[in-house]
Amino acid sequence: MPQPYPPTGNQTQHTERPLKVYAEQYLEGGPLPVGAVIYPTVPLYADGLPRVRLALGEVVLPPTWWIISSRYTGAPTEVISDEEFTERFGGVGGPPV
């Protein structure tokens, strides 16, 4: 396969530094992570499950999943499984289920 070449002009290649985020894992029986809430009085969410409000709506937070938050605003940006967390951020995942 030939080497990639930059487009015409004076462009040079640069490597983006690794993304830094805040992350907290939800474990059943433990305290709720930052950004997770339970709505006991809202009829639509009366199941008692913890949820995280993201830009695209509410997401149910399963046990052992992680809440990823922006390091600049502290606002939750996504909810990911323990397997995806380990794959993206290294072998620092939580305890086995």
Reported as a single tens digit per residue, the pLDDT across 18-40 is: 778 899 999 998 999 999 999 88
Q: What is the pLDDT, as a whole number, of residue 78?
A: 94
| 56-80 tens-digit pLDDT | 999 999 999 999 998 888 899 999 9
Q: What is the pLDDT, as a whole number, of residue 66?
A: 94
**H/E element, 89:** helix 82-89
Q: Is the pLDDT of residue 13 over 80?
A: no
Q: Which long-range contacts (CB under 8 A, 24 or more apart) does 53-59 make?
A: 54/78, 54/79
Q: What is the pLDDT, as a whole number, of residue 96?
A: 47
